[in-house]
Amino acid sequence: MTKRNTISAWPRLMKANDAAAYIGTSPTNLRRLVDRGELAQPLLRGGERLWDIRDLDEHAESLARNGEPIASDWSGKAI
């Protein structure tokens, strides 16, 4: 089987509406996540605020699954 390169349908940098859609929330909630420090601040390019897809992915990976502790709950504890 050969490995194929794929290109994401999502751009690397996104405005608030697209970034919110990417993580399944509203632009208002996206800004709340940023204000609470749960999501990285957007990058600035000229007067535009742009979210990096890698930051959005990192946020999604940090979320707890239903019934599982969040990653930070495991720090310093024996398994």
Strand-pairing partners, residue 13, are 52
Q: What radius of gyration, in Å, describes the C-alpha atoms of the chain?
A: 16
Q: Is the pTM of this model over 0.85?
A: no
CA torsion 71-8-29-16 (nearest 10°) is 140
Per residue in 9-60, pLDDT tens?
899 999 999 999 999 999 999 999 999 999 999 999 999 999 999 999 999 9
Query: What is the residue extent of each domain of the chain?
Result: 13-63
Give the phi and the psi of residue 3 in degrees, each rounded to 5: -85, 130
